[in-house]
Structure formats: structure tokens, C-alpha cells
Chain A
Amino acid sequence: NAGVTQTPKFQVLKTGQSMTLQCAQDMNHEYMSWYRQDPGMGLRLIHYSVGAGITDQGEVPNGYNVSRSTTEDFPLRLLSAAPSQTSVYFCASSYSEGYQETQYFGPGTRLLVL
């Protein structure tokens, strides 16, 4: 199993550009989530999904969109990038929402917005 995979590993954007961060898992997990990690802030939840076709907002959803058309994939879209979105983004998955204590994380995408 590859686990949770993320692409790209690193991206540079200009203010106002849009892009999609890809996340995929091959563990047949129902629950998937996106976090951003900033210095001194820990990990903060952006959006999450409890299954295909179901998504909801987390703690810091503004400026981001998600969709979940399949169990495997959970892309994160930046609509109009801003310097405040410079961060490291992690995708994670667990068997279900009720099993977040055993959540698996991807390797991360480093995003720099100029």
C-alpha cells in the first residue's frame, strides 16, 4: 500500500493564481481531511470529508474548496492564492470519522505564494 500520497511536493504561486493540491489514499478510508501547518500554530483543519460526496468545513476554510467524488481522492483547491496561504499542507485519512485517533498523514505539499 502506498498509504496517503500528495502532489506536488512543492509549488510556487503568484498572488491571485489558482491551483489544486492532490491527495489520494489506497486504504479504503472513509474519512479524509486537509490541514495546514504554520510555525507556532500546530496543525489546523481546513476541510474534511466523512465519505464520497460529503464534505464540511474545518477551522480555517476560507479561500479553499474541496470535493470528494471518490473514496480515494480528496483534492484541495485554492481559488485565488494569497500570501497568507503560504504554508505546508497535509492530507490525512482514517478508517472513519470515529477513528481519527489512528489517522494517517501524507508527506505534505509546501506552498509559497508570492
Chain B
Amino acid sequence: QKEVEQDPGPLSVPEGAIVSLNCTYSNSAFQYFMWYRQYSRKGPELLMYTYSSGNKEDGRFTAQVDKSSKYISLFIRDSQPSDSATYLCAMLVLTPGEGAQKLVFGQGTRLTINP
């Protein structure tokens, strides 16, 4: 079982729709939860990060973390064609006994917003 599971999609929705992207994880030691956006043939770009359960908003984007269910979501309101990209979730854990951090990525969900 992968530590982080993400539905690869593809997901296609009409412009203006609310989009929900999700990841589940198995390691309860994950501390930070990130969402990256990756346009075609570009590097991942950090959208948001959070470390606590609950919601964090940034404009049209809301990141939600439910540590009890080991589930995170990214909501996009009023979706635009420019939001078409692959969205990657990522989680950070402090490796016990080593003092090092490990970053684990989901597989990425390809999203298309249709005008």
C-alpha cells in the first residue's frame, strides 16, 4: 500500500464548477500537508500548505485536512480554464530517530476546466 493515494483522474469539469481533489494517507505521523499545481511541461508550484486539521483558504482555493480520517482535500471555487493542470498532494513527516524529514507525493490528478 502506498503511503499517499491520489486518484489520477483525469477529471474534467465545466468552467465555474466547484472542484474537489482528494488524497488519503496511511502514516499518522505526517505533519505538513501541501498541494502543488503543475502545468504541462513545467515544474510543480506550491499552492498551499497546512499543518493542522481544518480548513485554510487562499482566494478561490481551500485546503482541508482531516487527520482523524487521514484525508486531505483541495477545493477550487469558480474554476477557470487557467486552473487546468495536474494537482499533486504531498505530505511531510519527521523520520523518527533520524531527525530528518521525508516528503511523500501523491501520483497527481490531471484536471481540465472546460470553457
Interface residues contributed by chain A, number (CB under 8 Å): 21
Most chain-A Cβ atoms within 10 A of its Cβ — which of B32, B43, B105, B108? B43
- List B contacts of A75 (CB < 8 A): none
A53 at the interface (CB under 8 A from B): no
Complex-state Cα separation, A53 to B58, whole angstroms: 38
Which one, A12-20, A60-68, A76-84, A93-101, is touching chain B? A93-101
Majority SS at the chain B contact face: strand
Of chain A, the residue at the smallest CB distance from B32 is A101
B80 at the interface (CB under 8 A from A): no
A102-B46 contact, Cβ under 8 Å, with A40-B107, A42-B88, A42-B108: yes
Instruction: List B residues at the A interface (Cβ < 8 Å).
Output: 4, 6, 8, 32, 34, 36, 41-46, 49, 51, 88, 90, 92, 100-101, 103, 105-108
Instruction: List A residues at the B interface (Cβ < 8 Å).
Output: 4, 40-45, 90, 92, 97-98, 100-108, 110
A-B contact pairs, 13 of them (CB 8 A): A40-B8, A40-B107, A41-B107, A42-B105, A42-B108, A43-B105, A90-B43, A90-B44, A97-B101, A100-B92, A101-B92, A103-B46, A107-B42
- In the complex, besides A4-B43, A42-B106, A100-B32, 10 extra interface pairs with C-beta distance below 8 angstroms are A42-B4, A43-B105, A45-B103, A90-B44, A98-B101, A100-B101, A102-B46, A106-B43, A107-B42, A108-B41
